[in-house]
Amino acid sequence: MSALHSIDVLLRRGGFERHVRVSSDARVLALVGASGSGKTSLLHAIAGLLRPVRGHIEIAGERLFDAGRRIDVPTHRRRIGYVFQDGRLFPHLDVRGNLLYAARGDASAARAQLDHIVELLALGPLMSRRTVGLSGGEIQRIALGRALLSAPRLLLLDEPLSMLDPDRRDELLPYLQRVRDEHALPMIYVSHAADEVARIAQDVYRLG
Ligand SMILES: Nc1ncnc2c1ncn2[C@@H]1O[C@H](COP(=O)(O)OP(=O)(O)OP(=O)(O)O)[C@@H](O)[C@H]1O
């Protein structure tokens, strides 16, 4: 039986090429490595945005990609929540609209799930705000909530705290820890910050 995260791929992007081999049973895995070592490229490959030259990607028993077996699950069927450095909220929607954008299931299930996420991430006071004027930490909490509401089977986080100043980072970390502890989701967490990695992840893979 494969590990929870079982990845063995050759990645190529322009002149960049890297072989990545990860086998880990940690539910929360951190990816670290120098700038340009391929962390984001690996997340893109997992999300189906970059096709590996060869190899396989299997997470939580789900074969997402396997060149030899001609498996390449389309991005929208991979059920992946993706949180970027900069939140990437939709400017034309208010906070509630952003959260519900990708909500799955029937209306009552979506509402129950929304209530849970709003509580978990303390988003109540923000619900009818426009995205303009939100702080960086608020934006990231909403981005995290939006990703969770898509009912993902895997959460990818690409340096979600790196644009925040140290105080805001410290404020947001406990929310990430709550998500880690209250959702049984596998998570892959890219970061440059060793202290952050130590507080979030259960295993660390270094690229490069
Ligand atoms: N669209 C692209 N076309 C060509 N090369 C690319 C493209 N995107 C990324 N690269 C190259 O691929 C390599 C890996 O980039 P990637 O963004 O995966 O690294 P990273 O480890 O996430 O870096 P950082 O920590 O700076 O975000 C780099 O050398 C980068 O220049």
pLDDT digits (tens, 9 = 90+) for 69-121: 999 999 999 999 999 999 899 999 999 999 998 777 677 777 888 999 999 99
Spans of all domains in the chain: 26-40+79-206
Cβ neighbours of residue 22 closer than 8 Å, sequence gap 6 or more: 5, 6, 7, 8, 29, 205
pLDDT digits (tens, 9 = 90+) for 5-39: 999 999 999 999 999 999 999 999 999 999 999 99
Cβ neighbours of residue 167 closer than 8 Å, sequence gap 6 or more: none
Q: What is the pLDDT of residue 13?
A: 96
Q: What residue type is 79 in one-letter code? A: R
For ligand 1, the distance from its centroid to the CA atom of residue 15, given in whole angstroms, is 10
Evaluate: CB of 19 within 6 angstroms of ligand 1. Answer: no
pLDDT digits (tens, 9 = 90+) for 150-159: 989 999 999 9
Average pLDDT, the chain: 93
For ligand 1, the distance from its centroid to the CA atom of residue 57, given in whole angstroms, is 19
Is the domain spanning 26-40+79-206 CATH 3.40.50.300? The answer is: yes
CA 48/CA 66 separation, integer angstroms: 12
- CA-angle at 188, arms to 183 and 193, nearest 5°: 110
End-to-end Cα, the chain, rounded Å = 27
For ligand 1, the distance from its centroid to the CA atom of residue 36, given in whole angstroms, is 5
Q: What is the pLDDT of residue 56?
A: 98
For ligand 1, the distance from its centroid to the CA atom of residue 130, given in whole angstroms, is 32
Evaluate: CB of 39 within 6 angstroms of ligand 1. Answer: yes
CA 148/CA 166 separation, integer angstroms: 25
DSSP-H helix ranges across the chain: 39-47, 95-100, 107-120, 136-149, 166-182, 194-200
